[in-house]
């Protein structure tokens, strides 16, 4: 009698295109975490208690936010398989 598998990977990994889509999302995860941290840092810098005179926002703050938006679009494209 042939040995029986202990478990099957197909239910865990999915099928065909689902496996590829999951791999894309997993590969984009470190970059997505980085972008999320950048946004949290930006929000902290722009809080009223940290920037009461809006010096950061009147300086590079908005440029930094646009850069975070660009990075977000890049990560989403990678996760969707567009890059």
Among residues 76, 70, 74, 80, which one has the least CA distance to residue 24? 80
pTM score of the predicted model? 0.74
Q: How many residues does the chain have?
A: 83
Q: What are phi and psi of 4, to 5 degrees?
A: -95, 140
Per-residue pLDDT of the chain in tens (83 residues, 90 and over written 9): 666 655 555 555 566 788 888 888 999 999 999 999 999 999 999 998 888 899 999 999 999 999 999 999 999 999 998 85
Cβ atoms within 10 Å, residue 67 = 14
DSSP, collapsed to helix, strand or coil, labels residue 6 as coil
Structure tokens at 70: 């660009």
Query: Domain ranges in the chain?
Result: 38-83
């Amino acid at each position: 009698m042939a040995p029986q598998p202990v478990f099957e990977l197909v239910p865990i990994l999915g099928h065909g295109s689902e496996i590829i889509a999951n791999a894309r999302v997993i590969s984009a995860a470190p970059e997505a975490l980085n972008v999320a941290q950048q946004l949290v840092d930006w929000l902290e810098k722009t809080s009223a208690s940290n920037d009461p005179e809006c010096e950061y926002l009147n300086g590079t703050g908005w440029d930094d936010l646009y850069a975070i938006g660009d990075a977000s679009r890049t990560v989403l494209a990678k996760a969707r398989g567009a890059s």
